[in-house]
Structure 1
Amino acid sequence: MAKKKNRKKALKLQMKRQGLLSKAKQAVASVAETAKTVTQDVKDSFKKPSLEEFSALPELADIRSNLAETLYNEGIVSVQDFADWTEKDLLGLKGIGPATVKKLQENGVSLKA
């Protein structure tokens, strides 16, 4: 019985002889490095600010710290996040009343209609 030819091994040997295998390794390494950089950039752009940074926003200047913490714990970590919340939703949070919502709107926070 004739020995079965290993096509995969033969192709790899042919590519090695032509110098394509080393070029492929370099290309893969380059793409991997680029992917690593892009991944880090994406992670940095979605980085959640700390509670202290959130509380220091000028839009939250007249808001008590415990109310700012309530907003932060509910997932509102930037001024843009308020656009996903209605006035009624905010009033449903513990400690947030009409006066707090009014102060937020006076400070320039826009809520969902």
Structure 2
Amino acid sequence: MAVVTAPAIAAFGVLATIAIFVFVRRDAVRRDVTRPNSWAAVAAVPFLVGVSLHLFATVPTTGVIMTANTGLVLYTFEREIAAEDDDPAEPGRLPHDPVRSSSDSTRGPESDEE
């Protein structure tokens, strides 16, 4: 049974690694993230390492999952940093919110005390 499963997992790992590389590179180009090829490799290679650990080494599943997700998490952080505005934070409003009118900004937070 392991003989049939291991090649399937290996094939899935290689195909998923290629898919991750292509998706991350396209997304990085679309979002103007610097060095899209490097970020695609940073996201895809740890996934392939995680699949390899699952196939060839006796490691805990949590280690495999953490290794496989590392590159995707790092790229997600870089993507958020690249999407940030250069404007300073405005108290009382979330980033990318539409500008509120003056009547909305005079209201304070609602309280439960009456």
TM above 0.5, yes or no, is no
> TM-score scaled to structure 1, two decimals?
0.32
> TM-score scaled to structure 2, two decimals?
0.32
Larger radius of gyration: 1
